[in-house]
Chains A and B, each alone.
Chain A
Amino acid sequence: MKTFINAFRFMADNPHLLLAKTGEHLELSGAALGIALVLALPIGLWLGHLHRGLFVAASVSNVGRALPSLVLIAFGLTILGVGFWNNTAALVVLAIPPILTNAYFAIDTVDRDAVEAARGMGMTGRQVLLQVELPLGLPFVLAGIRIAAIFVIATATIAAVAGGGGLGQIIVNQASYGLSGVVAASLWVSALAFLAAFILSVIRRAASPRPVPLP
């Protein structure tokens, strides 16, 4: 218990350190999540729209789950060397599977009748995807992004062993910061993960289609 009291004291004594590390943490996580979104979201949505590539979507998620974060970080470091990009690349690889798979299944499982109706009204494939399928599948798409965000924030912590900045630097450096500092940074990064997960849950709820009252 004493460690925890000291951990909070550490937070009170070192707000600048923690804020600076949080900034680095968010920079790394945000860059990785952004790149993963740009790469994976269009592919997932488009494959779902075509109802093709079930095998791709399923294997990406299976293989993705089997890739341990420390292994990805270590591979990134070995192949790309120390720097910002080795960790970013590892995090991107980790974030792609949940985004791609959820986007695929979100669109693939949209009510076929709704899609047929939209086509019958003369919508093009692109319009069907953007105006019918995407709004209906959005909660599920966002659920995938939420999982990816949780993974990325957690793994950005581990990236500290490969020269990545962020809150992990305090956690892996007990020699300098003591156990109270380590616990303080651990609590802090957990709070960061909760906050990100919470914000994405709120967005997801807001994006859920509500039944429209019939006239």
Chain B
Amino acid sequence: MIVAGGPVIPNFGSGSSCEVNNGWFCTDWVRQHWSDTLQPALLQHVELAAIAIGVGFVIAFALALVGFRFRLVDPPIGIVSDFLYTIPSLALFQILVPFTGISLLTVEIALVSYTLLILYRNMIEGLRAVPEDVVDAARGSGFTRAQTFRRVELPLALPAILTGLRVATVSTISIATIAPFVIAKGLGQPIYAALSQDIFKTEIFTAGGMVIALALVADGLLVLLQRRLTPWVRA
């Protein structure tokens, strides 16, 4: 819990006067603690998010294949993924703890759950939006069902799938900030530490800024990927 008032003395040994007075932004602190605090947290954050997005993408794709082929299972998959999406992240972590403990697995299960709705919806809607005429033409020219899927439906759905991937990536990077409520990993950790150490401003602004920057950079990289893979789409 955070207690207001009182002298602000961050727990960072003998700091500069800026640190001792908890100034708005102490560049010397950032320089001193980049390699022992910020950089490891950044790498952990990337790892947390990358695992979740990778696993989430594979699961969502498998579900989308099933939901696309068998329309009957689409509504239940949609309802379950919407259900998972609605659970507040902090609550989902704690509900999982009795099952999977204080572990990376707990965090990843929660992060993966939040990617499913976005990825699945975009995949299904992308696949559904493929014009029937195009599919008929492919089938008529002798493509098998699998070939039609791989060479016609999937490429045409790719823009929607990649848009879903962008949204899922940015929101996963954002939600991964909550991970320190379970395990001490990611950029949420320095923020959490600063909140409990008399709200040390520099650390909050730096780590917070880094999360936002990471999300924007990841989004930018995916835009480049999008231009590369689907050059026919003018964004």
Contact = CB atoms under 8 A, between A and B. Distances in A.
Interface in B198-221: 199, 201, 204-205, 207-208, 211-212, 215-216, 219
A75 interface: yes
Interface of B: 1-2, 4, 82-83, 85-95, 97-98, 167, 170-171, 173-178, 181, 188, 191-192, 194-195, 199, 201, 204-205, 207-208, 211-212, 215-216, 219
Contacts of B188: 68, 70
B2 A77 contact: yes
A36 interface: no
A31 interface: no
A102 to B, nearest CB: 14
A70 B177 contact: yes
A194 B86 contact: yes
A194 to B, nearest CB: 6
Interface stretch (A12-20, A41-49, A132-140, A166-174): A166-174
A168 B90 CA distance: 8
Contact of A74 (B93, B208, B216): B208
B1 A173 contact: yes
B95 A183 contact: yes
Given A67-B212, A183-B98, A190 B91 contact: yes
A163 interface: yes
Nearest to A198: B86
Given A74-B191, A157-B91, A183-B95, A194 B83 contact: yes
Contacts of A183: 94-95, 97-98
Binding site secondary structure of chain A? helix
Contacts of A74: 191, 194-195, 204, 208
A78 B98 contact: no
Nearest 6 interchain pairs by C-beta: A154-B88, A186-B91, A66-B215, A71-B208, A3-B98, A68-B177
Contacts of A1: 98
A85 to B, nearest CB: 13
B4 to A, nearest CB: 4
Interface string A130-158: 00000000000000000000100111011
Nearest to A6: B98
A78 B94 contact: no
Given A158-B90, A186-B95, A75 B204 contact: yes
Contacts of B82: 197
Contacts of A66: 170, 173-174, 212, 215-216, 219
A81 interface: yes
Nearest to A158: B90
Contact of B181 (A3, A150, A172): A172
